[in-house]
Structure 1
Amino acid sequence: MKFRGPLHQPPVSEADIQAYSDGTLAGARAAHVRRYLAGRPGEWHRILFYRRLNAQIRDAFPEHADQAARAAQPRTAPARRARVLRYAIAFAAALALAGVALAWVAVSEPSQQMLNNAAVMALMEAENARPEALPEGAARPPFDFRPAGMRFLGGGEVRVGPFSSAQRYLYESSDGQRVVLLAGRAWLASDAPQWSAHRAGPLRLLMWRARGTRWVLAGDARTRGLMRAADLATLAPPH
């Protein structure tokens, strides 16, 4: 009766034979294969053939053989630690980039006070500007204020801080009063769709926030249709 090894060990497979021939099988499994081959002398001829073939392949493609040998080696504890360290560094870098992005968003969003000051300055400039310097259609109006008796004159971008800007839109009431609408980013602020009013001397500022945008409508407190325009902006979506 031939010796086949302990009953709890699995039978020798073709993959075991190939790994044993390549020299990549170690430990108890390699000993099990040796015991198996001890009872089958004919199998040794196949093992020798595989080993000669592997040697010829290594001689013909030394670089590929080295790569295959490195890939066949088990991962050691230092390799696992290095892999974990790389993941930790990548995660920390991602967190740092996210922090930088949030910081940039924070400094590039104009505050309510910055936008109010810019609206007052823009209104003073608009009141002193000549009509031919404000061609109609220079920018697309975000709201239609014609039901409030106002026509759109034009618009463009204005700086409101060292790192922030806003969009300026200029309207004119039926009695010739200029009205300025400013829009600044407000991604980090919650919505406040109902407008609120603030007096700045003879001027009135109407403010609201919606869909990541901070709005300020500025005009003389006596301008006809000013609050009606704010109602149109807050009760209907932008164009």
Structure 2
Amino acid sequence: MRTTPFTDPDVLSEADVQAFVDGSLSPERNEQVQRYLRTRPDEARRVGFYERLNREMQQSFEHIDGDVAQPPFATLARFSLIVAGCTGWLRQHLRAIVAALLLAVCAAGGWVWATRVPATVLDAGALMVLEHVLQPASVPAAAAAPLLHTTAPDLSSLGWQPVERSTAQVGPFARANGFIYRNSAGDFAVLLSVRDWTAPAQPQWQARRVGEVRLLGWTTAHTRFVLAGRAQMRGLMRAADLMTMR
């Protein structure tokens, strides 16, 4: 059995702590250390911490296949070296890590800003689509494909039917998608939507008018919507009501 001579009773050295925690002291000297610790609460707390850490390290490594059993303090020393090495690596590369994180945040913010679509830009896209739709023979007179009825918002209660899909470029990296509707009177309306992560919520639609065209816009779940049609079109505002109430 390895023994370690007990040092000055007024000072507990690291060698004393190591021998005590490893259990390599003789019973007589072990009792001396225990008596010493009972009179030194601060030292007792320190030794208790080492005992717990030593026990955890021993349990962590005792079941590793092929490993040679090591004294608990040797395991603790190896663990301390690993922690110190990781800390040193982090300290050495801290600037690079911070710079990479800042670049990632800036890139994400730049992408969000580049894909933002102001309401006025979406309105302009809807106006262009509506202007094209109002030209003769621009929309097929045949009934819409059945798929449109399953993907487009259902406005059949107003006599509105989707007749065609629609898209509009509303920014360098943004494209609005939607549908063209025809009501029972043969008037057309355009519904467009686009994702905008910077758009605040606006669940209630707001109306704007450009000449003879009325535009009804709202925003939900960071998605802008606009419904455009002739100001006198029957059911235009009721259609916006139906879609904003869903």
Q: Quickly name the TM-score band, shorter chain normalised.
A: 0.5 to 0.7
Answer whether contact 2:126 2:168 (CA < 8 A) is retained: no
- Please list every run of 5 or more consecutive structure 2 residues that lacks an aligned counterpart in the other structure: 25-77
* Aligned pairs (5 A) from 1:28-67: none
Is 1:131 aligned with 2:140?
A: yes
**TM-score with structure 1 setting the length:** 0.65
Q: Which of 205, 213, 217 in structure 1 is aligned with 2:223? A: 213
Task: Sort the Cα spacing of 1:176 and 1:73 in 2 relative to 1 into closer, same or farther, 3 A.
Answer: closer
- Checking the alignment, whether the CA contact within 8 Å between 1:134 and 1:153 is kept in structure 2 is yes
Measure how far apart 1:143 and its partner are.
2.1
- Partner Cα distance (1:226, 1:219) in 2: 7
Shift of 1:127: 2.2
Residues 74 and 234 of structure 1: CA distance in aligned 2, closer, same or farther (over 3 Å): closer
* CA distance in structure 1 between the partners assigned to 2:165 and 2:120 by the alignment: 21
Distance 2:20 2:226 in 1: 78
User: 1:5-20, aligned counterparts within 5 Å?
Assistant: 5-7=7-9, 8-9=12-13, 10=16, 12=19
- For the residue of structure 1 that corresponds to 2:193, the secondary structure is strand
The aligned counterpart of 1:89 is 96
Partner of 2:93: helix, strand, or coil?
A: helix
Tell me how large the CA RMSD over aligned residues is: 3.3
What is the alpha-carbon distance in structure 2 between the residues aligned to residue 216 and residue 107 of structure 1? Answer: 20
Amino acid at match of 2:140: P
Establish whether residue 177 from structure 1 lines up as the match of residue 187 from structure 2.
yes
Q: For 2:173, which of 141, 163, 166 is the aligned residue? A: 163
Q: Which runs of 5+ in 1 are unaligned?
A: 18-70
Q: Which amino acid aligns with 1:127?
A: L
Percent sequence identity over aligned pairs: 31
After superposition, give the CA deviation of every residue in 1:100-152 in whole Å (9 maximum; x if it has no partner).
Answer: 11211221122111100000001112222131588434544442111222111
2:128 to 114, 121, 129: 121
Change (3 A) 1:118 1:138: farther
